[in-house]
Structure 1
Amino acid sequence: MDVKTVCQQAKAASYSLQALTTEEKNAILLAFGEALKARMKEILKANDEDLAEADKNQMRASLKDRLILDDKRILDMALSLVDLAALKDPVGQVDETWTTAEGLHISKIRVPIGVLGMIYEARPNVTLDAGAIALKTGNTVVLKGGKEAIHTNIALVRILQSTLKAMGHSEHFIQLIESTDRAATMEFMTMKDYVDVLIPRGSERLIKSVMEHSKIPVLETGAGNCHIFVDAESRETMAIPIIDNAKTQRPSVCNAAEKVLVHEAIAESFIPKLHEALKDRVTFKGCGRTLEILPGIEALTEEELYQEFLDYVLGVIVVKDYKAAVDHINQYSSSHSESIITDNPSHAAYFLAHVMSSTVYHNASTRFTDGGMFGYGAEIGISTSKLHARGPMGLKEMTTIKNVVRGTGQIRK
Structure 2
Amino acid sequence: MQDGDEVKFSKGISEYGNGGEAFMYFDIKESQWVATVDAALPTKRKWDNVPILNQYTKGYLEKDCVDWFNKFREYADEDLRNSSLPDVHLFAKKTSDDKSKLKLTCMASGFFPKDVQLSIMKNHKHLPDDEIESTGVRPNHDGSYQMRKSVKIKEEAKAEYDCSVQHRNLRQPILIKGGFFNTHLTDEEMKKQIMKCLYLSDPGPHVFLLIINLETFREEQSNFVEQIQENFGAQAFKFTMVLFIGREKVSRCVLNQIKESEETQRILNYFKGRFYVINSKNECDPSQITKLLRVIDEIVKNNGGQNYSNEINLKNQRKLREQTGTLKQEEKRMKTDEEKKRHEETDTKEQKREINTEEYIKTKSKKEKNENDKMMIREIKWPQTDRGVYVNCVEKQIISCVL
TM interval, short-chain normalised:
under 0.3
TM-score, scaled to structure 2: 0.21
Question: Greater relative contact order: 1 or 2 (C-alpha under 8 angstroms, separation 6 or more)?
Answer: 1
Larger strand proportion, structure 1 or 2?
2
TM-score, scaled to structure 1: 0.21
